């Protein structure tokens, strides 16, 4: 039996995928797996029982990845599962920034008791006039799951699209419309584009990537969209630029005291992935990842451990070892098993940065004594027998 705990509301469509081998617990210390959306886990202590954390979503900046890896806790996310939801929010953002729909709607609300509203509207509408996106240049920074969907949709809406992503995956490159201009110097995006949207993860290297210098390179009256993370942008510099008119509008999905309520900053309460479809997709993927890891030891879509998948165990038992990516680990594991007269029927070993993962299918049941010996190999972080 396994136990899981939810750190945020997780879609029931996903939770129903758990078989009767799983029960939900409110006691986090009892959980084998945690499911989370945006709850911040940096200050949370993790129990020795916790084997996996699944982020039902894309961004993992709310999770201490390194600390988890060191404790042998595999962190998963759900790549692409909410990308369409975010893409649609970004397209809405493009339109909201171009047409003064939000102020127009607010005007109608404010005048709702006015009997002359229809006549007055025809007089006042000039105050809410805007521009069209067709024929305008859109720069996209980050061509991952969301960036490529935004890029391809914007092409269909008649925009001229420029894309920048020095680390683009082969999959993304295949899926990108040929109409998109490939940019290798991000400054060309700043200099050329009428609209700029960012879709990169929040990392040390991307923090405040949109700063005063970047803004200075941009066209006057540019529209900036941020559906990725607020800390990617120096928002104090953005607010100054909005107030001076350098930036015509700033669309953000991340409210904070810097941008909330500022004229021409249109901020939504982190709604990008808040659609029933995205929530279901993310939850289903997260639950499948957790079950495959807890039951079979397979790792797919982890952000702190390598992909490693041997399907279902064909031997008598499977030994799953989370360990440091250092020399001679496999040699030592094989010696311990060999000395105990245990044959390895099948095995896999993969590494990612400082961490590695090994799976061994054995022809015989492993004993506690051998498990103890494997645990004592320096660099081993966790062992599970499946």
Ligand X SMILES: O=C(O)C(=O)COP(=O)(O)O
| Cα separation, 319 vs 349, whole angstroms | 12
Radius of gyration of the chain (CA): 25
Q: Single out the residue of 10, 33, 37, 59 in contact with ligand NAI (rule: CB under 6 A).
A: 59
> Which listed option, ligand X, ligand NAI, none, makes contact with residue 146 (CB within 5 to 8 Å by class)?
ligand NAI
Kindly tell me which of 99 and 270 has the beta carbon lying closer to ligand X.
270
Kindly tell me which of 56 and 308 has the beta carbon lying closer to ligand X.
56
Q: Single out the residue of 37, 136, 199, 249 in contact with ligand X (rule: CB under 6 A).
A: 37
The least distance separating ligand X from the CB of residue 231, rounded to whole angstroms, comes to: 12
**Judged by CB under 6 A, does residue 104 bind ligand NAI?**
no
**Judged by CB under 6 A, does residue 273 bind ligand X?**
yes
What element of type H or E holds 162?
A: strand 160-164
Sign, Cα dihedral of 263, 59, 171, 10: negative
Using the rule CB under 6 A, give the single segment among 92-100, 144-152, 285-293, 313-321 that binds ligand NAI: 144-152
**Judged by CB under 6 A, does residue 86 bind ligand NAI?**
yes
| Cα separation, 235 vs 258, whole angstroms | 7
**Judged by CB under 6 A, does residue 202 bind ligand NAI?**
yes
Using the rule CB under 6 A, give the single segment among 15-23, 55-63, 173-181, 241-249 that binds ligand X: 55-63
Token pair, residue 230, equals 């607020």
The least distance separating ligand X from the CB of residue 83, rounded to whole angstroms, comes to: 9
**Judged by CB under 6 A, does residue 154 bind ligand NAI?**
no
Per-position DSSP letters for 184-215, written without gaps between them: SSHHHHHHH-SEEEE-----TTTTT-B-HHHH
**Judged by CB under 6 A, does residue 283 bind ligand NAI?**
no
225 - beta bridge partners?
Answer: 197, 251
| Cα separation, 334 vs 336, whole angstroms | 6
**Judged by CB under 6 A, does residue 274 bind ligand X?**
yes
> Which listed option, ligand NAI, ligand X, none, makes contact with residue 72 (CB within 5 to 8 Å by class)?
none
**Judged by CB under 6 A, does residue 72 bind ligand NAI?**
no
350's CB contacts (< 8 A; 6+ apart) are 299, 306, 307, 308, 356, 357
> Which listed option, ligand NAI, ligand X, none, makes contact with residue 83 (CB within 5 to 8 Å by class)?
ligand NAI
Q: Single out the residue of 44, 92, 108, 168 in contact with ligand NAI (rule: CB under 6 A).
A: 168
The least distance separating ligand X from the CB of residue 169, rounded to whole angstroms, comes to: 17
Helices (H) and strands (E) in the chain, counts: 13, 16
Per-position DSSP letters for 299-362, written without gaps between them: B-SBSSS--B---S--SSEEEEEEEES-TTHHHHHHHHHHHTT--EEEEEEEEETTEEEEEEEE
Using the rule CB under 6 A, give the single segment among 25-33, 163-171, 313-321, 345-353 that binds ligand NAI: 163-171
338's CB contacts (< 8 A; 6+ apart) are none
**Judged by CB under 6 A, does residue 82 bind ligand NAI?**
yes
Count of residues near ligand X by CB under 6 A: 10
- C-alpha closest to that of 304 among 4, 74, 124: 74
Token pair, residue 330, equals 């496999």
Q: Single out the residue of 14, 18, 59, 162 in contact with ligand X (rule: CB under 6 A).
A: 59
Kindly tell me which of 122 and 204 has the beta carbon lying closer to ligand NAI.
204
Q: For residues 383 and 320, is the Cβ–Cβ distance under 8 A?
A: yes
Residue ranges binding ligand NAI (CB under 6 A): 57-59, 79, 82-83, 86, 141-147, 164-169, 172, 199-202, 206, 227-229, 253, 270, 272-273
Residue ranges binding ligand X (CB under 6 A): 37-38, 57-59, 82, 270, 272-274
């Amino acid at each position: 039996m396994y136990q899981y705990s939810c750190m945020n509301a997780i879609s029931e469509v996903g939770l129903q995928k758990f078989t009767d081998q799983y029960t939900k617990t409110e006691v986090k210390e009892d959980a084998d797996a945690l499911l989370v959306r945006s709850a911040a886990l940096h200050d949370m202590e993790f129990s020795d029982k916790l084997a996996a954390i699944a982020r039902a979503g894309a961004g993992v900046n709310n999770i201490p990845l390194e600390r988890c890896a060191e404790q042998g806790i595999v962190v998963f996310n759900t790549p692409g599962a909410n990308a369409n939801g975010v893409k649609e929010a970004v397209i809405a953002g493009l339109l909201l920034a171009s047409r003064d729909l939000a102020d127009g709607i607010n005007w109608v609300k404010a005048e709702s008791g006015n009997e002359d509203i229809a006549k007055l509207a025809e007089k006042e509408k000039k105050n809410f006039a805007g521009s069209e996106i067709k024929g305008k240049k859109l720069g996209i920074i980050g061509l991952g799951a969301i960036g490529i969907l935004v890029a391809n949709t914007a092409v269909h809406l008649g925009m001229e699209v420029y894309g920048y992503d020095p680390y683009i995956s082969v999959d993304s490159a295949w899926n990108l419309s040929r109409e998109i201009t490939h940019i290798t110097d991000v400054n060309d995006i700043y200099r050329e584009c009428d609209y700029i949207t960012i879709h990169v993860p929040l990392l040390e290297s991307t923090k405040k990537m949109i700063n005063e210098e970047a803004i200075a390179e941009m066209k006057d009256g540019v529209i900036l969209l941020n559906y990725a993370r607020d800390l990617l942008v120096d928002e104090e510099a953005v607010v100054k630029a909005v107030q001076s008119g350098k930036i015509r509008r700033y669309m953000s999905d991340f409210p904070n005291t810097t941008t909330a309520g500022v004229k021409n900053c249109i901020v939504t309460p982190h709604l990008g992935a808040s659609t029933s479809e995205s929530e279901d997709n993310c939850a289903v993927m997260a639950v499948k990842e957790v079950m495959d890891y807890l039951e079979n030891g397979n790792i797919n879509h982890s952000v702190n451990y390598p992909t490693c998948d041997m399907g279902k165990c064909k031997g008598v038992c499977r030994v799953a070892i989370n360990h440091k990516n250092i020399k001679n680990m496999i040699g030592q594991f094989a010696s311990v098993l060999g000395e105990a007269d245990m044959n390895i029927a099948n095995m896999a070993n993969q590494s990612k940065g400082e961490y590695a993962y090994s799976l061994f299918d054995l022809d015989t049941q492993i004993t506690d004594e051998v498990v103890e010996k494997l645990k004592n190999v320096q660099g081993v972080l966790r062992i599970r027998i499946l």
